[in-house]
Amino acid sequence: MNPASLTDLAVAAAHDLGFDLVGVTAAGPAPDFGRFDDWLSGGHHGEMAYLAKRVAERADVRVWVPEARSLVLVGVSYFREILPAALRRDPARGQIAAYAWSDDYHEALKPLLFRLDAAIRAVSGRTTRGRVFIDTAPVLERSWAQAAGLGFVGKNTCLISPARGSWLFLAGLVVPEEMAERTSPSAQPGTCGRCTRCLDVCPTGALPKPYLLDARRCISYLTIEAKGAIPRELRPLMGNWIFGCDLCQDVCPWNRRFARPAQRAVLQVRPEMSAPLLLDLLAL
């Protein structure tokens, strides 16, 4: 099968499996790796030491997978309606970021990626599995997703799809087949323009300037990744967020206008996870 036909098959299979966005790009040096390297050098990753490991593999996917020739990038929407103000402002409740309102997305998406790989293998004749990645491998998913046309990186450092917004799980597949490069069918140009709503809304100053996230001040980092005590000066600024934070996405005009739920229910939402009562959590 020629590269273009193989891409056609992969894109169709990905949509059949429930992926909302699909793009294909050639393996090689990671796009925008220099920006990531500068971010690490500035210490903006905080205690996430794992991000500073396996740098050579992050810099070029072919170091991780020597036989790599193509990457298939996919996106799945996890858009949820913004919680009613009564829930968000209830001091008896703690807010949880929308991505965590469902079961573990790693476990939900991995089998689908292997099924996508199987569809490619069925026509290419390959007998070994491709390599999947869902933010646990040494791959810069966001940069590769931008290269594959799934969207653009916004000032809040999230990947924004002009057709879907930024409420996206990003994942992908590295394969040895040569495939024709293909952007997502819903891809279209997009920028943040002069908008700075995400920078302005961040209560802890985690976005000191456009396109720069200082994880050390990010509520998501402080409530999920940081191992020590939260700095005292940041505690009063965090509101009732107890696991993650969605503020910089909530205010994004792209999300306000274009975000919509996934085309298929790949992830089962658990409403009780959105804003649990704090006393209930203490009783666990």
Cβ neighbours of 5 (radius 10 Å): 12
Q: How many CA atoms lie within 13 A of 90 on its CB side?
A: 16
- Which of 16, 38, 103, 135 does the annotation list as catalytic? 135
Taking Cα atoms as reference points, which of 102, 101, 104 lies closest to residue 274? 101
Task: Give SS3 for 20.
Answer: coil
**Number of neighbours of residue 211 by Cβ within 10 angstroms:** 13
Query: Alpha-carbon distance 84 to 89, whole Å?
Result: 9
With a CB cutoff of 8 Å and minimum separation 6, the contacts of 55 are 37, 40
Active site residue 32: no
3-state secondary structure of 25: strand
Would you please indicate which residues are annotated as catalytic (active-site) residues? 135
